[in-house]
Every structure is written in C-alpha cells, then in structure tokens.
Structure 1
Amino acid sequence: MATINFYLDSTRKSGYAPIDLRINCNSKRVKISTKEKIKPVDFDKENQLVKDTSERAIELNHYLSYLKDRAEELVNNSPKKKYTLEEIKCKLTDFVEAYKDGHDFNIVKEQVPLYGKAFTFIDLFAGAGGFSEGFLQAEHNNKFFDFLLANDINENSELTHLVRYNYQLGLDAEFLCQDITEPDFLDNLLEKLEGKKVDVVCGGPPCQSFSLAGKRKKFDKKDDLFAHYLEVIKVLQPKYFIMENVKGILTKERGKIKELILTEINSIVDIKEIPKLSAFVKSLKKTNPESEFILDCLVKRIEIEQFTDIQATGAKENYIKAIDSQFKKITPKIADYKTSKTDSRISTIRHGFNILIRDKVWEKLKRDLIKEKDYCNIDNDYFVDSFTQFITDLDSREIINKIESAFQKLEVRKEFLKQCEDIVEALKIYILNIDECLNFISNYCNEEQNQELKEIVDSIRLYKIKSPFVANSSNYGVPQNRERVLFIGCRKDQKFISEIPATVNEEEKVSVFEALYDLDFIGNNQEAHHYQTVDITKQYNGTAKKMKNLLKTRSIDGKPLSGKGKTFSDWSKSGRLNGRFENTTKPFYVRNSEALNNNQKDYAVLHNHKTSNQGDDVLRRLELILEAGNYKKAQKKLDKCGLSSNKRNYNVLKPEGQSPTVMTIPDDYIHYSTPRALTVREMARLQSFDDSFVFQGKRSTGGNNRKSELPQYTLVGNAVPPLMARAVALEILKNIR
C-alpha cells in the first residue's frame, strides 16, 4: 500500500515555498511538483491543508484534495494493477498541467476572429447544448456560425454551458436561464442580444407542449411552449429556424398536431407587408358595406402582428375596448336600464370584456397555477378536476364561449340580432391566427379580389415550409438509431431547405463497438480519469479479428476513408472543432455554480467515466441477460434464479450495430461485453459528443428530484446528437444568403 502526502520544499526569496506531492511505495519514491507556492505559515502539515489565513484556501485545498484522490486512484484503486514510477509521474503531471493551463483563464475572452463570413445562431431549450456543439463544428466555404445565446430553465444546463463555451472555448455566448413562458422573457432575450441580428434559431420544445386549440388540456408546465417558441421566431425573424421533436408528433391526434404546427408557422408574417394587407381589407368595405365593423376588426387583428410584446398588449386591449364600446351603444336597444344593471347575462358580457382586456394578467396567473399544480404533484386525485376546470375557464376561448352563450339567452329582437352576432364574431376574430384570418377574409372577396388576396398572401408569409423531415441520427455518423422530426422554416428571401442529406449510407454507419471499445477498461463501481490501452486480441480472444474489422478510419461526419485517418473514437478524443477556437483550455468538471465561483475545478484527461455500484444480484441479472442476448430470452432463467425484475426492459447493445435511442436512465442499457450499465461518457459517445465536452453537476437523480434537477445522464439523454446538428448547420451554410 502506498502513502501519499504533501510537503513544502525550501522557502524561496519571495517568502513562498513550493508545494510538492510525494508518493512512497515499496521503498520507492515519486515526487511531483504541484506548481503552487504558499507561505509556510499558511500550511497545516498535520492535516495536509492550506490554512484559512490564505486568501486562496478554498481553491488550493480543493486542488490538493483532488490531486491526492487521483494519486490514490492510480496507486491503490486503478483498473490497471501495475505502473512504473515514470508512468505515475507522467499521469499526475497531466493533472497538474491541466490545472495550471486553466488556472489564470479569465471569463470572458473575445472570440478569435476567423476568415470568412460568420452567421449567428441562438439555441432555445438548449439542455446540454447538442445543437450548439454541432453548429460550432460546421464550416463551409469560409462560412461558419457565431454562437450568441442559449436558453434553458435549468441551472445545470447553464453551468454546463458556462464551463464549455465561456470558460473552456473562450466564447462570449450568453445564457438566459429563464422559462420561455415568463412575461418578460422576450424583453430579457432582446436585452442580452444587444441588438445583434440572429440568422438562425434552433430548439426543440418538449412534445408535451403540443395540444389542439379548444381541447381540454392536462395542464402541465410544458403546455404552450411551442407557441412561445414561435413568438421568439416572430420577433427575431431569423433566416432559418429549426424545431426538433420526437417522431410521434407526426401521428399525434391523428396528424392534427402536425397540421397545427404547419399552420402556425405559415401564420408568421413579414411585418413589412402588414400595411399592404390592411389596406386591402379596408378596401373590401366598398363591396361589403354591411360588414364594416367586422372588417375594421380584421384590420385591427392583423395589425397586432407587427407589434412586439408590450405594444401588442396595448393593441389587444384597444381591440377589446372597441368591441366593448360597440356593445355599450347597443345595450339600451336590447335591454331596459334596470335589466342592463342587474341581469346576469348582461353582466357576463361586460365582465367577459374586462377579463379579456386583462388577458396578460390572467395568463401569468395560469402559468403560476400550473407550476404550483406541478410542484404539488396534483394529478390522479380529488384536486385535479377542479384545478383543470379553473385553468380551462381562464382561457380566452372559454371566456368568449360564455359571452356568446349570454347573447344567445338574451332573446334579442331581430333588428338588433346582426349587431350582437357581429360582436361575437369580432371576439372570435380576436383569437384567430393570421392563417385563419386570411381564410376568413376570403369570405368577403369576389373572384377578382380573391386573386389579389392570393398574391398578398404569397408575399406576407415570411417562412416557406412544406412538411417536416424525419431524420435518423445514424445517417449522420452517430452510432445510434435515434429518429427525430425536424421542422425547418426557411425565410422567403432564403433558399428552400426541405431535408438534410445523409452523410453515410446503411452499410457505412458507425457501430457501437467503434464508439465505445476504447473505454471498456473499467468494472463495477470504478471511475477512470485517464484512458487505458484496450488490447482487443486479449479481450476478445476468438472474436478479435471480427471486432478489429469493425474499426474504420472515417471523416469527421462518419464517412469511411480508404487510407489513413481517424476512427470514431479518435475523433471523440481529439475533438471535432478543428482547432477553430484558439482560446480553448483544458476541460474540467465542477460540482455546482458555487464550486465554479470558488475555482474548485477538477481537471482530468478523461471525464464522466464512472460506473455505478451495483449489487451482486443486479450484476448476475445483467450477466444472464447479456448471455441470452436480450431481456425476453433471459426471462425464464431469471425467474428460475430468483432474479426477475419489475423493470420493463433492458437493451443489450450490439457491438456491430447501432444503439437504440439513448434515453436518460443508464440502466436501460447493458454494455455489449460487460454486465454493467453505461457511464455518462459512454452514453455521450453514442450521442457523438466529444470527450472534451464535460457534463457538469450530479451524475443522476431520482424520485421527485427529477422534476427540478437535470443531472448528467438526463443532459446526455435529452440532447440533440451534435453530429446530426452539424449536418443541419452544414446544409444551412450551403444555402444561406
């Protein structure tokens, strides 16, 4: 057993003494300089710590503790049982050099200007940053992407972003840690962008956020995120936007959700064309004099589209006030004075207007209620129906339905009936999107006017989109069959993109073995901070030749090469950013934001490569499933051995194929050669993240914490594979003007 301690070398003229690490083992000694100095009075020899009297005590003690842990790992707990003195010194010096390399780095350096043309992008619902990573890897004909901002609601997303893009790559990309549904989100977004033009917006609103208008919702926190994503698009009006989602979105509610999404995208208008449409609608009053009020309302509704959030709120209030004014004029004609003051039907109409005018306030209240409902786990209980009903009743459509019902029960005389119907019609126009408004306008057009309207519609639609595109990440050099739907919005002044060409064909796809073989040197409950050499001949014995044949040299996007080059694992180790970022420093891990602020950084050659501590029964269960080849075939033997599980499924990885979709729970998968779950780093490899991309914070979490925490496994599982994002970015660079 080795002994490991720190000691102070002789004091220099400056009054500071170097701190050295010393390892004694079997009468042999290794000395490593930590490259740090301290005043002798500030060092506690007995406890091997820097005293609190030193202003850098927190940082230095963390560094020394981490260095000692790595030494302990090498000499006492390493998967490799024997090291030479030189190997130990070399590996520990790697940690020291990495620490010194990043120690004096100040946030934030300016991005190094590059040759060529930079296009800008932002990443919404960013999570770990799969889209961001892929976009930064893409370059074409001296064109590349400049990263402006990412957004997510989770602190660990922000921490991972800060470490990767600000500290490690030296970029000045902002992070907005805020719920996109908050009232001031757009204002804060614009403030952080500081007037910079955004060329591309990417992001994937969670699939739970899609629901049909008017349909009773379950009301969880993810409702309406899609609508808010499009609000950002309406304000920024980028040249392209990409919305990523699960394949099931195409068939959700029998395809109606897909059509709703396309309709909403088609409803994003070119603000510069609004006056032309408004003038056209006003001109229809000449041929439709009896519908002047409705046409005026259509003009007001259309013009709301040209306003940003605060201005739009005022315009909406004025819209409802105009309808309220119309009702006040007609009230004496449909009800006597006493009735108008006491009748519940009249009160319903008046109060409905008041509620609609305060729509912004009610929307905030709804959001707060939904968050509280989610926080208190209200679902499948006696509370859920009343909560759902109340939130539903606050919806503008429900308010308008009640106003319409009140009008119907008033028994209005025939000569005033149209005026009342027009008021209800005007309220329904209020909640139409632009696409629906355009269809509504056509009802007031003759054949010639309809032709003119068609021409205006063609010019007013800002984005071209025909249908969503299904992309399988394995077609882009990712060793994973992960199908996702991409909605690609192309601004009308840009070249149309309908799909993303594959970079590899079926026979060329990257295998699981190519992605993971060089990481297969750790066992149960172990953590590695260095790569170890994997001897395929020794490890796979009779199948070694077959396994070696799986290894191919490839281009960055996975295309096999005939000559020399890098394997997929080589690309993962060296990185796919092509040396673009000159400010890049060594990767590091921090436990949380406080640790980052205190400079408590853990530097290593390899990060996020730790296996879980699984009991004997679990290991035996996994071994039986691995031997059988899949969970179903192993069921009888598991039952016989008393090792059956309530778990729905285990996926045994096939070395020669691609993995199934990587999810957020590690023990859903069994390694192809070892009965264990995957490490964070292995799952990141299957997603095509570079090894230098370090996932921060906790490794995993459970129970109710899953609602608020975003640990490493979840960050990996929820991410867009960077190589697929790179293919998207590359196609945009080829076409963007």
Structure 2
Amino acid sequence: MGDVSVRFIDLFAGCGGLSLGLMKAGWQGVFAIEKSGDAFQTLTHNLCSKRKTTFEWPEWLPQEAMTTRELLDQFPRELEAMRGHIDLIAGGPPCQGFSVAGRRNPEDPRNKLKDEYVEIVNILQPKFLLFENVRGFASAFKGENKKSHADQVREDLMGFEWGGYQVFSRILEASNFAVPQPRARFILMAVRADLITSQAEIDPFDDIDAFCASFRDKRSLNGHNITVKEAISDLEINLHDLAPCLDTKGFNRIDYLQPEELSQFQKLMRKGLRKTQSPNSLRLPNHRAETVLRFQDVLRTCPKGRSLSKEMREKYGMKKQCFTPLDPDRLSRTVTTLPDDLLHYSEPRILTVRENARLQSFPDWFEFQGKYTTGGSRRKSECPRYTQVGNAVPPLMAEALGELLRKLENIL
C-alpha cells in the first residue's frame, strides 16, 4: 500500500492532541469534528494555519464547532462522496461516562456517541480505524449482565454487511511513549478485512514493547520514565522574571527565557521555537495568602507523588478527594481537567496550563485559546484551557500510534 498521502479525519477531536500526533507521524488531516467552541478554536488556531501540520478542510464543511450528529444530519451526501478518499478515521468519544473515576452511569447520553463513530465508519469505510478511550471503556458497567462498550464496538466494526474490520485492542500507558505520566488508555486499531490477504495474524500490538523502545530511542528519550522535573523544571518561577498576563487582567505570568540547560524532553518540547520565544498559557494562579501557607506546609510534611490521605485532607480542611503534591523524580499523576488536582513539587502553587500541557507532551509552539477556567453551571457548556489539556490525547502517544498505523499500512 504505502501511499505517502494517507488521509484521516478526527472525530471528537478536542483541542487537537490526537490530530497533531497523527500529522507528525505522516498522516494528512482532512477535517476534525469537535462540539466545543473553545476546544475547536484551539484546534483551528494551531492546525488550520500555514504550518506543515495543517488540515486540508473541504469547502463544503464549515470550519466551526459541531457535533458528529450534526455532521451526519447536515452533510450526508458529502460524506458519501468521500468514501474511498479517507484512509483513517480517528477519535474517541467523551470519556466521562466510561471513566472509573466518574459515576459510570449506563444511561449517560455520552455513552451513545460511540454509535455515531460507528455510523460514520459505515459510511466512509476507511482502510484503518483508531479509537481511543479511558481504561473503563473495556469494563462492563456494575450490575450489567452484558458486554463492555469495547466489546460492543468490536462486534459492530466486525459485523458490517460489506465485510467490516479485523479489530485489535490493548490497554496502553502513555508513559511507554515518553509521556511524563502513566495515563492508561484503551486503544483500538482496526484494518478493513478485505485488505488482509494473508492468513497470518496482523496484530499491531504484537511487538509493542520493542516498538516503544525504538520510538523513544529515536528521540533520545530511552532508559527511564520521563520525570516531572525533566518535563517542567525550566518553567520554575525562580528561573524567570514575572510579567503582567497579556490575556487576563490581574494575573502575572512567567516571562519565559530559555535556560542554557534543558533536559532532552524539554528540548523536544521546545523544538521549532527560538530561545527567546515564550510559550503561551504561563499564567500563574492568584492564591490567597492562607492557601500559599497551606501549600508550603503540604510540601514540607506530606509525601510527594501520592494523594493526600483522608487525615491530611481533614487537617488542611480540604474537601477535594484527590490532591497530589508532585514528586519531581517520578512520573506525574494523571493530568485531569481540574486545575487544582496537582501541586507543584517545589513551589506552593498549582500548575500553569503550560505545565499541564508539558506533562501531556504538547510542544511549546502549540497555543491554547479561550478562558483558563470556568465554574458553576458554565462547566457544562464551556471548555477552558485546563479542561482542553486534561481531555486531550497526549500528542507523543498519538504520534507513536500514528507511526504504528503507518507501519501496518506499509506491510499490507
């Protein structure tokens, strides 16, 4: 097969982490579907520009936020006409309904979005599929006497009347691909059945450990997990001046000037920028004085890299169930959508959006758009920067999966 112009679309694309990784692996993006205006603004700002990593974007599709349902209902003929012109459908529906960290409500309407993914696959019939979700996607809901959502999707993809797909899946940790956090994810890859001519089993995950080692080695990131300090130590306040935040009144930001010494991971994240170029989203939090004192005490007395115990939370009057002071010499805890889940390892503050983005492996040239945080009832309708980062597929992991798919594409 081996066509260099392999084309993909990204469904439930978020701010573009999966798309960015696939493009870096040599896939050409055609368009992306994302319902959040905030996340979509970040995606188009970074991936619909004059950079090499850019979507083609068809003329018939408005470059605006929309749902997969709107795509199906408003552009059925255009989608039909694209059959044979899309090599890969990538994406993963919102994960909150499947996450073991959430309520796992079987009636959560977000659980149905996987069916819209399958519906679009049935129309376009691409050669390959890439489906990403939380680990809980592969687990049946408590009290249900039926298959997991992963099993349902697998059956749907294998059962299309026109022949369907051969499907492979695995739970993979992002840290295997040099992302500085564990972040276990359910990854499904599928190959259209008519493309498999040999009887040999073609499982892209068969030699995954060797592949991961090779992927990391090419980037000089082999040998150990990437630690929190290796990811964000160049963003410490004591290395830089502070300046007024350019996009929010009343806040300061780190006025970044690249240090002489960078870790190999930091060099990779800084690639494409001059030493004097600062990444965006370095706004510092405005903590109250008593909050700073509490955080200082946490850093002095609590074990790092572990969530505070119930006793510790009660001591500090914290209602949060999960609050972790980071260990500089270990992987980060998984980055979430909440800005106050993680405490900096040496400074009495929560992380900036950019520090979270580093832990997710977003390059520094990638600029996040929109509000930083939101609250109350607006949480259901807005997707601020912290949420965009927390929801994203880590670009390094996405790049590795894209290379794995290219490898599979080349042997068929």
Q: Determine if the TM-score, normalized by the shorter chain, exceeds 0.5.
A: yes
3-state DSSP class of the match of 1:238? coil
SS of the aligned residue for 2:191 comes to: strand
Alignment partners' CA distance in 2, 1:116 and 1:230: 25
1:489 to 190, 193, 216: 190
Query: How far did 1:192 drift?
Result: 7.5
**C-alpha separation between the residues in 2 aligned to 1:190 and 1:619?**
57
Aligned residue number for residue 165 of structure 1: 47
Runs of 5+ consecutive residues of structure 1 not aligned to the other structure:
1-114, 139-143, 211-216, 271-459, 536-550, 553-566, 577-585, 587-602
Partner of 2:271: 574
Q: Is the 8 A contact 1:512 1:653 kept in 2?
A: yes
Q: Which of 103, 117, 126 pairs up with 1:229?
A: 117
Structure 1 residue aligned with 2:252: 526
Do structure 1's residue 735 and structure 2's residue 408 form an aligned pair?
yes
Please name the residue that 1:718 is paired with.
391
Partners of 1:491 and 1:681 in 2: CA distance: 39
Identity %: 31
CA distance in 1 between partners of 2:131 and 2:291 (Å) = 40
The structural deviation recorded for 1:185 is 2.3
Distance of aligned partners of 1:173 and 1:186 in 2 relative to their CA distance in 1, 3 Å threshold: farther
2:15 to 128, 134, 137: 128
Q: 1:705 to 1:637 in 2, by over 3 A?
A: closer
**Equivalent in the alignment of 2:334:** 661
Contact 1:150 1:176 in 2 (8 A): no
1:642-666: CA deviation from partner (whole Å, max 9, x where unpaired): x421121211111111111110111
Q: Does residue 233 of structure 2 align to residue 517 of structure 1?
A: yes
Residue identity in the other structure for 2:402: A
Residue type matched to 1:475 in 2?
N
Post-superposition CA distance 1:600-642 (Å, at most 9, x none): xxx9632111111000111112112112234536945973xxx
Secondary structure of the residue aligned to 1:248 is: helix
User: In the aligned structure 1, how far is the partner of 2:123 from the partner of 2:13?
Assistant: 19
Aligned: 1:508 with 2:224 = yes
| Matching of residue 464 in structure 1 with residue 347 in structure 2 | no
Contact 1:200 1:239 in 2 (8 A): yes
- Show the counterpart of 1:198: 86
Cα distance between partner residues in 2 of 1:190 and 1:652? 52
SS in 2 for 1:656: coil
RMSD, aligned α-carbons: 3.0
Counterpart secondary structure, 2:253: coil
Task: Note the alpha carbon deviations across 1:107-158, whole angstroms, 9 max, x for none.
Answer: xxxxxxxx972100111100011111101111xxxxx211101001111122
Give the Cα separation in 1 of the matches to 2:80 and 2:383. 26
1:724 Cα deviation after fit? 0.6
Residues 634 and 172 of structure 1: is their aligned pair in 2 closer, same or farther, counting only changes over 3 Å?
closer
Alignment-derived partner of residue 299 in structure 2: 626
TM-superposed deviation, 1:251: 2.1
> Conserved in 1, the CA contact under 8 Å of 2:204 and 2:405?
no
Classify 1:638/1:707 alpha carbon distance in 2 versus 1 (closer, same or farther; 3 Å). Answer: closer
Matching residue of 1:672: 345
Q: Counterpart of 2:156? A: 264
Amino acid at match of 1:526: N
Alpha-carbon shift at residue 489 of structure 1 (Å): 1.3
Q: Provide the residue aligned with 1:75 in structure 2.
A: none
CA distance in 2, matches of 1:516, 1:735: 34
Larger radius of gyration: 1
Q: Deviations over 1:192-222 (max 9, x none)?
A: 8973711011101124567xxxxxx865442
Q: Distance in 2 between matches of 1:718 and 1:531?
A: 28
Stretch of structure 1 that moved more, 720-729 or 494-503: 494-503
**Matching residue of 2:102:** none
Q: Corresponding residue for 1:59?
A: none
Q: Closer, same or farther in 2 for the Cα pair 1:730/1:613, shift >3 Å? A: same
Give the equivalent residue in structure 2 for 1:683: 356
The 5 Å alignment of 1:372-391 reads none
Letter in 1 for 2:161: V
Query: 1:465 Cα shift?
Result: 1.6
Provide the rounded CA distance (Å) in 1 between the counterparts of 2:254 and 2:373: 18
Say yes or no: does 1:477 pair with 2:364.
no
- Contact kept in structure 2, 1:652 and 1:671, CA below 8 Å: yes
Match of 2:131 among 233, 239, 243: 243
Tell me if structure 2 keeps the 8 A contact 1:131–1:720. Answer: yes
Distance 1:691 1:119, change over 3 A: same
Relative to 1, partners in 2 of residues 1:208 and 1:517: Cα closer, same or farther, differing over 3 Å?
closer
Give the equivalent residue in structure 1 for 2:140.
Answer: 252
Task: Give 2:247's aligned residue.
Answer: none
TM-score of the aligned structures, taking structure 1 as reference length: 0.46
CA contact (8 A) 2:10 2:89 kept: yes
Q: Name which structure has the greater RCO, CA cutoff 8 Å, separation 6+.
A: 2
Compute the displacement of 1:472 (Å).
Answer: 0.2
User: 2 CA distance for matches of 1:689 and 1:529?
Assistant: 19
Residue 119 of structure 1 aligns with an amino acid whose one-letter code is: V
Contact 2:10 2:91 survives alignment (8 Å): yes
Q: In the superposition, relative to structure 1, how do residues 234 and 532 fare at CA in structure 2: closer, same or farther (>3 Å)?
A: same
Report the secondary structure of 1:528's partner residue: strand
Aligned to 2:66: 178
Equivalent positions of 1:613-652 (< 5 A) are 613-630=286-303, 632=308, 635=311, 639=315, 643-652=316-325
The residue type paired with residue 291 of structure 2 is V
Which residue type is aligned with residue 241 of structure 1? L
- Per-residue CA shift, 1:323-347, capped at 9, x if unaligned? xxxxxxxxxxxxxxxxxxxxxxxxx
* Cα 1:227/1:235, change in 2 over 3 Å: same
**Residue aligned with 1:488, SS:** strand
Instruction: Return the alpha-carbon distance in structure 2 between the equivalents of residues 714 and 636 of structure 1.
Output: 27
* In structure 2, C-alpha distance between the alignment counterparts of 1:488 and 1:573, rounded to whole Å: 30
Secondary structure in 1 matching 2:86: coil
Call closer, same or farther: CA 1:168–1:724 in 2, change over 3 Å.
Answer: same
Unaligned 5+ segments in structure 2 are: 58-62, 99-104, 197-201, 244-250
* Offset from partner CA, 1:74-113 (integer Å, 9 cap, x none): xxxxxxxxxxxxxxxxxxxxxxxxxxxxxxxxxxxxxxxx
- Flag the structure with higher helix content: 1
- Alpha-carbon distance in structure 1 between the residues aligned to 2:40 and 2:152: 32
The 3 A distance-change label for structure 1 pair 494 and 731 is farther
